[in-house]
Amino acid sequence: MKKYINKVLLLVGVSVILLSSCKKQESEVYYESGTAPVLSASLSDSIPLIFQDSLLPAITFAWTNPNYVFSNGENSANVTYYLEIDTLGANFTNPNMQQIAISSSLATSITVKDLNTILAGAAKLNLAFSQKHTIQVKIVSFLGTNQAQISSNVLNFTVIPYPPPPAVIPPSTGTLYIVGSAVVGGWSNPIPATDVAAQQFTQISTTEYKLTTTLISGQEYKFIGKNDGAWASALNFGIATKDDPTEINGGSFFASGGSNNIMAPSSTDPTTLYDIDVNFQSGKFTVSLH
């Protein structure tokens, strides 16, 4: 029995020695350095954004390899990149700055539509439509989970984002009126001369109109784009979902021809004023207390 125990102890001792020897032979690999990538583009100075070309490439970016160096001289790790787009002066600290993740590749193209969305989208950079802006672009390389980040040079471009097509085609007349049993002029078209001013919207932009008016409780109304008695279908706007109980507060609308009137809110005070905002860009209107 004693001999058997001695043999076991010997085997255990040898195993410990062998493990210790293996551990000493291992060497850890450390990240040492990298070279800032050089960013270039297929365009310089400005990037044209034209709605008709929305599916075509707007610009192509390319950059050099950052050549990450490790203590063993090998770079077997996958390099990932962020293409960062921000406004001039924000220095890539803008909360709305956009990052496009790119795995391993040393180039990327962005379509006109995608770039326009990045620049002017509500959840993106949110730049104003149809106005000139200066943006800055750079590439950031990194390893793993944002480790060993290296930034490239910065490129500047001027851009003019275009508005997407409106959800509902706005009146070509540039005018909008309210008619119906809910307003003083009733369904008269043309509107009586004495009521035109009270029933004509103020044009805020090519796609937005606003009006402050009273509405007769429980009655109906529509929007018309031309006060000429013709009731043209393309200039005759009603609620998209007829008999929707929430329509008194607004909703989606469309060029409805002679159907789908809008219901006015209920009120015990006939002097109550309402603000009506009709937005052809979104295809929605709102009704709120003034």
CA 273/CA 289 separation, integer angstroms: 6
Give the number of C-alpha atoms closer than 13 A to the C-alpha of residue 212, restricted to the C-beta side.
5
Location of structure tokens 């001039």: 88
Helices and strands (DSSP H and E) totals, the chain: 3, 20
Check residue 244 and give its pLDDT.
64
The order of strands in the sheet holding 107-111 is 39-41, 57-63, 107-111
pLDDT band, residue 144 (cuts 50/70/90): confident
Domain ranges in the chain? 32-159, 177-289
Helix (H) or strand (E) holding 115: helix 112-120
Tell me: domain 32-159, CATH 3.60.110.10, correct? no
Phi-psi region of 169 (alpha: psi -120 to 50; beta: other; left: phi over 0): beta
User: Which CATH code is given to the segment(s) 177-289?
Assistant: 2.60.40.3620
Whether the bond between 164 and the residue before it is cis, its omega within 30 degrees of 0, is: no
Each residue of 122-142: pLDDT tens digit?
889 999 999 999 999 999 999
Q: What is the pLDDT of residue 8?
A: 37
pTM of the entire structure? 0.62
For residue 272, pLDDT over 90 is answered with: yes
Region of poorest pLDDT, from 72-81, 85-94, 217-226: 72-81
Note whether 32-159 and 177-289 share their fold: yes
Residue 13: its pLDDT value, please?
40
Helix or strand run (H / E) with residue 86: strand 79-87
* b/e sequence 227-248, b meaning 16+ C-beta within 10 Å: beeeeeeebbbbbbeeeeeebb
- Pairwise CA distance, residues 250 & 266, whole Å: 14
Q: How confident is the model at residue 17 (pLDDT cuts 50, 70, 90)?
A: very low
